[in-house]
Structure 1
Amino acid sequence: MITLEKLSKAFGSQAVVDDASSQFEKGKVTAIIGPNGAGKSTLLSMASRLLHPDTGNILIEGKAIADWNTGELAKHLAVLRQANSITMRFTVRELVSFGRFPYSKGNLNEQDNAMIDQSLTYLDLTDLQDRYLDQLSGGQRQLAFIAMVIAQDTDYVFLDEPLNNLDIKHALSIMRTIQKLAHDMGKAVVIVIHDINFAACYADRIIAMKGGKIAANAPTDDVIEERVLSEIYDTPFSIVEANGKKMCLYY
């Protein structure tokens, strides 16, 4: 389990995250939602040691994140940030193989290649594995980056807005894969996401942020409520049910 204890972060006089506490559990998908500027990505960056909190503690398996060796942390936690730019020319398979670096240090063995193959299969990229990234659509490139994260084979997977640039088919593929990683493989998957309906359908738990604070932190059905969402987003919501899932209507 990853535990966040009273995290705060300010840039200048602006408090971006204020006294935020939560937990990320294995076997569950946790979605972080909220309006722009709510502090979602900042919270995830602190939880992954990409950004140092001004106050508060982060514990991974009961051990302070600052006390983790970088190489060992990379075997437990994989992170995909919003912006991913690579200047060198790589094939899809070469990119995905970077996920194995914490184990292989660049010398891939049979186990590494098996994990790469599995990751490519998960995201239906096997037929594209020898294509160069600059030959792919934006959505296909995003899938390749997510396959790299999956190949890292960590207990904790953090994805910051991974559905950017994806059409509905690819977005559904990602969300179904995320759910499989959590439910079938026992990983804790944490995703910053703007699409509330994807969160409603695929997340087990939702953390909703507003103005740097955690406004709601509960099982999905308890957050996907008209009153809760209307207060978080300052706009009216209607909730309907389809196939046993709650869906949001905006107006």
Structure 2
Amino acid sequence: MTQSIIQAVREQKPLIHNLTNEVVMNFTANGLLAFGGAPIMAKAEQEAKEMATAANGVLINIGTTTLNELSAMKLAGIAANKKGIPVVLDPVGVAATTFRQEAVKHLLHEVQFTAIKGNAGEMAQLVEIPWKTKGVESIGDGNLEEIAVKVAKAYHTTAVVTGETDVIYSEGKIIHNTTGHVWLEKITGAGCLLGAILTACLTTNHALEAKALAAVQFYGLAAEHAASQEYVLGPGSFLPAFIDALSKDLDQLKGVN
């Protein structure tokens, strides 16, 4: 199922409207291109509705959001809902400040999200479960399944809680994914790029839970493959190898001849 979803993305080359943070724009664009999608970065309020209407999917990432950008995010999300295309929320660092919390509350009130993806601390914040965080990082321990279920039910969405084991809750099903590599935690924007790839997978004609699993499973396998290359000695050499790996087929990542 995962390979058929990846193949569908590569055949359709969905245009993903990324309203994402300034730190990760280049990495997100290159990673999504390698994967098979078509990225567009547009955060101006004046064009957000038009761009979202032209797209096949919309990613809203609050990593460096300003008030003006928040307005654009709302307009893009509403336009995506009207068009019936997937829209994903990545509540980056939502637990860090009151501004981020209020921004996310506003977006959740105005936009129906197809999926919400975040680390445990971010997702726990959305449903008022106590969790230790440090800036945009989650450093606590607890029940990820509980968080995923509560987020999904509270916001009528698919919830993707990332971590050492990713937990997905969609349409009454809990799914676990164990692929990945620790070096994903050592490069900026790994989670943000995953949000774009998740959005691309959601544009395909498959079950929601299968699309969410395909995104996180393939992403983790790409990280494992990149880290296994002889010339990769740390996060710096891992990053370009990871971009390369995102362009490969599932069998190549699994080492199948």
Normalising by structure 1, report the TM-score: 0.34
> Which structure dedicates a bigger proportion of its chain to helix?
2
> Which structure dedicates a bigger proportion of its chain to strand?
1
The structure with the largest alpha-carbon Rg is: 1
